[in-house]
Structure formats: C-alpha cells, structure tokens
C-alpha cells in the first residue's frame, strides 16, 4: 500500500504545533507496518532545510489568479529525516520562513495543492490513498473528484484528518475563479454558510474523515464552529483515531536535550537533575513542586486564564513554582511578563518557541498544566506522562481520552470547567499529592509505562485506508 500525506507541517522541518509531530511520526510507524509513505509539504526558507541534502525531482507550472507560477519538487534527506519527504518550492509564494501568518495565506494553500496534484499527474505517480491533513490540503478531494485537469486521479480514495476544526480556511466566493476549472454543477460542495470553506468541503468530499481523538469527534458533532450539522450528516464516514507519539524520539533514556537521562527505575534522580537545571536557570527553589505549561498562548489552550490562575495559586498556596513556555496573543504574553516581575523566584516564563527547552520542561516539571478549552488530541500530556510528569488537564477531547483522575484510580488531575477557579483547585490537589511522597513517586514511575506509541493507531489508519 502506498500513501501520500499532504500537510503544511512536518517535524523536524517545519513545526508550529502537534500537526508537525503527527505528520513527522505517523508515516514512520506506517512504514514499520509495510506501508510505503511519502510526505509532501511546502519548501520553507528555513536554515534547517538549507542544511539538508536536497535533490530536485520534478518541476512544472500552475496557474493561480491569472499568474503562472513555476514549481520545483525536492526530495529532502539528512540524519534527522527518517522517511520519504518531498518539498514543493514556489518562488515568492511558498518559500517563506514561517509556516503561517501571511496576508496571502489562501494563495499559499491553493498553490501548494495545485502544484502537488499537477506533479502527481505529470510524473504519473500513483498512490492508494491521498491523506490530507487539516484545511490547508482539504480541497484536494474536491479537486480530484471534479477538477477537469485532474481526471486521471478520479476515484483515488482520500482521507481527511481534522487536527483542529477551529481553523477552516474559508474565503470569499469572489475568489472562486482562483480554482482550476471544475464541473460547476458541484460548486455547492465548496460552500458552507456563504463562503468557500475548504474544511467543510473536505468533510463532504473525502472518502473518510477522522479527528485525532474519539472524544473530539463526538464533541464536534455538538459544537464545531458551524460544522456540527455537517459532521452529523456525514457521520457514517467519520471516525476518531487517537494520536500516538514517537516513543523513539520522546525517550527519556536517549533524549539528548535533557541534562540527565533516566528510566522508570531512576525516575526520581533523573527528574531531580533536570528539575535542578530548570530551577537554576529560572531562579526557583528545587524543593517546591514545579508546574509547567508548554503551548500556544491562545484561548483554545485557556492561556487567557493562566495569568490569573497562576497569580492566585502563588499568592494563596505560596510554596509552588510555575514556569510557562509559549507564545501567542500579545496581551497574554505581556501579562505573563508582568507576573514575572511581580513574583520573581515563584514564576518565570520563556516567551517564544524552544524545542530543546520544551524537553527539559517535560522532564524537569512535577506537573504539566493543560487546562484547554478545546483539545482535539493534545500531545503534551502524552509526552509528559512518558517523562514521568503528572498532567493536570481539563476533561475535553483527547485529554479526556488519555488522562484518568487519581480519584478514579488513575494518574492525573482532571477538572471539568475552563475556569480560573478549577485550575487553582487542581493545583491545590496537586500540592497535596506532591506532599504524599510515596504515592507521588509511585505515580511518576507508573505513568512512564503507559503506552501511547503509534503502534495501535498507525494500524487503525491502515484499517481505515483498507476500508476505502
């Protein structure tokens, strides 16, 4: 079986969040199950890309907005690249440093999809399934089914994975003529509530649709920024498949971003060394429980609640340390910077993206905060478990599917509402647990053994491919 993964992110080439981790690791595990995979992402103007071995494998041109754009396809290889990956280069359109955040982002998404399909047809590549990730590549099923230039691909089965239904990529009908000619009687498939909505169109046209956890699929049928009715009506082809993690890469025994490696039997001393490093760097008392947060500082992650929850917890409980690694809304970043000034030695933050530091935080924290309002799957809690760090989560989406509360004979701390008070209360429960050293250490050791590797879910995807 031969699968094409089309995505805008892939670790280690271009990562903004969990999408990169999934596209960077799922194909590797699928290869272990004898499935051939090819990942295709845009060519980014990043120093990492320039340090790898690139080989031009194809070229061609596409028409977008009455302009001809030449594209080139490069295969990329290097020590850190574990599977077959190709990059599509389009001068002045895809060759940017950042993945998202540009004014012309719709043109970027469209050009990538057009070039990818053009290349497949021109070079007569064949795939058993084209697997699209998120709205950036969600027009592919429609184009394959109804675009006149892509007739050769008609009938190729497609899977759309929804990593996050918050982002749907919609644009105005006025831009419809940017699409290559298609059978116009199907134009309605592009529309959802008065605009062209790539994610909605992908849900309608893909052979199968999945979310990255079962609970998130159920939640989306109730609330999905306007897509709930659509997901309900398409529910026969929809399923939830829980993400896995790359347990070779996220491995405390070999992770070279830690100051000390450890395993279950050495978790206490191992975590202590990593915690000490964090505490030395950020001015914390190593004896106090350390709460970490890693992630995008946006409403979905309840990052807007963090400043108040942190301030209240430190002021009331006193004997705790909190560290935040993340970036996002400027207002939240500024509030966190202010708390840094207010509560030195108790709170610190690194505003920005830092892969290496994130590993140290997973290893060196005692608890990881994930009070998300929405969490399609969440990988942080799985990394944290593997690193012996107890997750504190709001029961939603993938967090609900992966973390069981200590009160229910589980190993984490869970709350139901995205409110400051709930986060504060959960931190209180964590402090009590921390003081019960025997139970705390037993949980630390046990959670490291929980298996969240890709093995099962990689097979679930293969079963899904086989069903189409």
For ligand GLC, the binding residues (CB under 6 A) are 17-19, 22, 163-164, 212, 243, 375-379, 398
Q: Which two tokens stand for residue 397?
A: 């989406």
* CA separation for the pair 325, 365 (Å, rounded): 12
User: Is residue 152 involved in binding ligand ADP (CB under 6 A)?
Assistant: no
The DSSP code for 181 is P
CB 355 within 8 A of CB 380: no
In the block, tokens 């419809």 appear at 176
For the bound state, the minimum distance from the C-beta of residue 42 to ligand GLC, rounded and expressed in Å, comes to 17
Q: What residue 354 binds from ligand ADP, ligand GLC, none (CB within 5 to 8 A, per partner kind)?
A: ligand ADP
In the block, tokens 């389009």 appear at 90
Give the CA angle between residues 55, 61, 64 to the nearest 5°. 130
End-to-end CA distance of the chain: 12
For the bound state, the minimum distance from the C-beta of residue 208 to ligand GLC, rounded and expressed in Å, comes to 16
* CA separation for the pair 33, 20 (Å, rounded): 21
CA-wise closest residue to 140 among 124, 120, 122, 123: 120
Q: Which is nearer to ligand ADP, 18 or 180 (CB)?
A: 18
Give the CA angle between residues 19, 204, 457 to the nearest 5°. 40
Cis peptide before 206 (omega within 30 of 0): no
Give the CA angle between residues 248, 252, 255 to the nearest 5°. 70
Q: Which is nearer to ligand GLC, 399 or 443 (CB)?
A: 399
Q: Which of 137, 158, 335, 358 binds ligand ADP (CB under 6 A)?
A: 358
* CA separation for the pair 374, 303 (Å, rounded): 11
User: Is residue 295 involved in binding ligand ADP (CB under 6 A)?
Assistant: yes
User: Is residue 390 involved in binding ligand ADP (CB under 6 A)?
Assistant: no
User: Is residue 18 involved in binding ligand ADP (CB under 6 A)?
Assistant: yes
Q: What residue 128 binds from ligand ADP, ligand GLC, none (CB within 5 to 8 A, per partner kind)?
A: none
For the bound state, the minimum distance from the C-beta of residue 15 to ligand ADP, rounded and expressed in Å, comes to 7
* CA separation for the pair 184, 66 (Å, rounded): 19
User: Is residue 326 involved in binding ligand ADP (CB under 6 A)?
Assistant: yes
Q: What residue 384 binds from ligand GLC, ligand ADP, none (CB within 5 to 8 A, per partner kind)?
A: none
Q: Which is nearer to ligand ADP, 180 or 214 (CB)?
A: 214
- Residue 222's Cβ-count burial label (10 Å; 0-12, 13-18, 19+) is exposed
- Residue 103's Cβ-count burial label (10 Å; 0-12, 13-18, 19+) is exposed
* CA separation for the pair 144, 151 (Å, rounded): 7
Q: What residue 295 binds from ligand ADP, ligand GLC, none (CB within 5 to 8 A, per partner kind)?
A: ligand ADP
Q: Which is nearer to ligand GLC, 375 or 422 (CB)?
A: 375
- Residue 260's Cβ-count burial label (10 Å; 0-12, 13-18, 19+) is middle
Binding to ligand ADP (CB under 6 A): which residues in 403-442?
none
User: Is residue 307 involved in binding ligand ADP (CB under 6 A)?
Assistant: no
Q: Which is nearer to ligand ADP, 354 or 460 (CB)?
A: 354
Q: Which of 84, 228, 354, 460 binds ligand ADP (CB under 6 A)?
A: 354
Q: Which is nearer to ligand ADP, 144 or 258 (CB)?
A: 258
Q: Which is nearer to ligand GLC, 99 or 278 (CB)?
A: 99
User: Is residue 457 involved in binding ligand ADP (CB under 6 A)?
Assistant: no
User: Is residue 292 involved in binding ligand ADP (CB under 6 A)?
Assistant: no
User: Is residue 380 involved in binding ligand ADP (CB under 6 A)?
Assistant: yes
Q: Which is nearer to ligand GLC, 212 or 363 (CB)?
A: 212
Give the residues lining the site for ligand ADP (CB under 6 A): 17-19, 21, 294-296, 325-327, 353-355, 358, 377-380
């Amino acid at each position: 079986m031969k699968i094409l993964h089309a995505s805008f992110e892939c670790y280690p080439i271009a990562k903004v969040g969990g999408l990169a981790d999934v596209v960077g690791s799922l194909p590797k595990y699928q290869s272990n199950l004898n499935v051939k995979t090819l990942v295709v992402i845009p060519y980014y103007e990043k120093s990492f890309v320039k340090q790898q071995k690139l080989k031009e494998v194809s070229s061609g041109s596409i028409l977008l907005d009455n302009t001809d754009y030449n594209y080139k396809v490069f295969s990329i290889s290097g020590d850190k690249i574990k599977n077959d990956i190709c990059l599509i280069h389009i001068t002045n359109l895809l060759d940017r440093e950042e993945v998202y955040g540009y004014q012309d982002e719709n043109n970027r998404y469209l050009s990538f999809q057009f070039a990818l399909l053009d290349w497949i047809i021109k070079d007569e590549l064949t795939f058993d399934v084209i697997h699209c990730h998120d709205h950036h590549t969600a027009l592919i099923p429609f184009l394959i089914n109804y675009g006149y230039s892509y007739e050769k691909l008609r009938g190729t089965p497609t899977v759309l994975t929804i990593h996050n239904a918050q982002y749907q990529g919609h644009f105005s009908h006025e831009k419809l003529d940017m699409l290559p000619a298609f059978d116009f009687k199907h134009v309605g498939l592009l529309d959802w509530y008065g605009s062209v909505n790539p994610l909605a169109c992908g849900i309608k046209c893909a052979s199968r649709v999945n979310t990255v956890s079962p609970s998130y699929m159920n939640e989306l049928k109730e609330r999905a920024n306007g897509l709930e009715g659509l997901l309900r009506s398409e529910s026969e082809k929809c399923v939830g498949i829980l993400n896995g993690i790359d347990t070779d890469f996220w491995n405390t025994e070999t992770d070279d971003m830690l100051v000390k490696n450890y395993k279950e039997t050495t978790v206490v001393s191992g975590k202590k060394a990593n915690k000490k490093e964090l505490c030395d760097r950020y001015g914390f008392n190593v004896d106090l429980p350390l709460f970490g947060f890693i992630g995008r500082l946006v409403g979905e992650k309840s990052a807007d609640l963090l400043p108040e929850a942190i301030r209240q917890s430190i002021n009331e409980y006193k004997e705790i340390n909190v560290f935040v690694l993340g970036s996002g809304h400027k207002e939240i970043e500024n509030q966190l910077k202010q708390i840094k000034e207010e509560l030195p030695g108790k709170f610190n933050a690194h505003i920005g993206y830092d892969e290496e530091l994130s590993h140290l935080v997973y290893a060196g924290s005692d608890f990881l905060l994930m009070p998300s309002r929405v969490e399609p799957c969440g990988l942080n809690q799985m990394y944290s478990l593997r690193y012996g760090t107890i997750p504190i989560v709001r029961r939603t989406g993938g967090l609900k599917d992966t973390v069981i509360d200590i009160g229910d004979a589980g190993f984490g701390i869970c709350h139901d509402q995205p409110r400051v008070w709930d986060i504060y209360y959960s931190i209180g429960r964590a402090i009590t647990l921390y003081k019960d050293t025997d139970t705390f250490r037993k949980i630390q050791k046990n959670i490291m053994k929980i298996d969240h590797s890709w093995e099962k879910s990689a097979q679930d995807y293969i079963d899904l491919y086989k069903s189409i």
